[in-house]
């Protein structure tokens, strides 16, 4: 299979582009340490040469989005809630069913999606993602773990998920807005050696010993599934 390598994280992607402060996100880990470790262990991702949905920036995706509301028991069941303009607005609407309570655009979860806010998916050029690797931003979140070290979460955003089964497009599972992640679990400092890697799938998280990971200069080499982007 032909693959195209992605870029790994840079300082602008990690901290928003301006100079780091001692602990800007208040997670108890100095920003300088987070940034150093994030770059030290950042994964190198590989995509199929014919990948239908490349990564993109969240801020670019949100520029042209519309927020809609779907309520299975509402009339009409779909209604326009507002324009996003770079940031999803905080809204609440009734679920139109006795006892359902208000539906919050920032957190209400519906098991069967019977009442939910959603974003329009956009046009095909947007769904395809960016052809410029400079826009393949990796977002990083880190926290102290149970080993006494730090876990690094590397996230990428895709405007769309195109589903395949045995190499055939299976559109019943297609969906817009796709986050995928790789976690690198580090041991205690000051060296913070890599101990495990965690690969997030659509239904489970696979944990492997770092000894089983293929690396290049300390960076794990990750092959992403076509369309679905899991590792």
Strand boundaries in the chain, DSSP class E: 3-5, 44-48, 66-71, 78-83, 92-94, 102-104, 115-119, 139-144, 149-161, 164-165, 168-169, 175-188, 194-200, 205-209, 215-216, 219-223
Query: What's the full length of the chain, in residues?
Result: 231
Mean pLDDT of the chain: 85
Res 83 pLDDT > 60: yes
Instruction: Dump pLDDT digits (tens) for 102-156.
Output: 899 998 777 778 899 999 887 877 888 888 888 899 999 999 999 999 999 999 9
Give the mean pLDDT of 176-180.
84
Rounded to whole angstroms, the Cα distance separating 13 from 68 reads 29
Kindly list the domain boundaries of the chain, sorted by start residue: 3-59+125-223, 66-119
- pLDDT over 90 percentage in the chain: 47
Mean pLDDT of 28-41: 95
Mean pLDDT of 2-21: 41
Kindly report the pTM of this predicted structure: 0.82
């Amino acid at each position: 299979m032909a693959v195209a390598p992605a870029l790994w994280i840079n300082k602008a992607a990690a901290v928003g582009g301006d100079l780091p402060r001692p602990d800007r996100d208040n997670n108890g880990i100095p920003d300088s340490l987070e940034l150093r470790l994030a770059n030290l262990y950042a994964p190198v991702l590989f995509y199929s040469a014919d990948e239908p949905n490349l990564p993109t920036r969240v801020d670019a995706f949100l520029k042209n989005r519309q927020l809609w509301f779907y309520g299975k028991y509402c009339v009409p069941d779909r209604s326009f809630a507002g324009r996003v303009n770079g940031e999803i607005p905080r809204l609440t609407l009734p679920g139109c069913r006795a006892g359902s309570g208000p539906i919050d655009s920032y957190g209400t979860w519906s098991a069967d999606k019977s009442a939910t806010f959603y974003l329009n998916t956009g046009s095909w050029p947007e769904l395809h993602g960016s052809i410029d690797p400079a826009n393949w931003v990796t977002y990083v979140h880190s926290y102290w773990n149970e080993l006494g070290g730090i876990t690094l979460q590397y996230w990428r955003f895709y405007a769309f998920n195109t589903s395949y089964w045995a190499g055939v497009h299976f559109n019943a599972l297609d969906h817009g807005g796709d986050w995928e992640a790789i976690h690198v679990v580090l041991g205690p400092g000051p060296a913070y050696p890599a101990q495990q890697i965690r690969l997030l799938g659509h239904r489970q998280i696979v944990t492997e010993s770092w000894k089983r990971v293929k690396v290049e200069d300390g960076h794990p080499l990750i092959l992403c599934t076509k369309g679905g982007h899991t590792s």
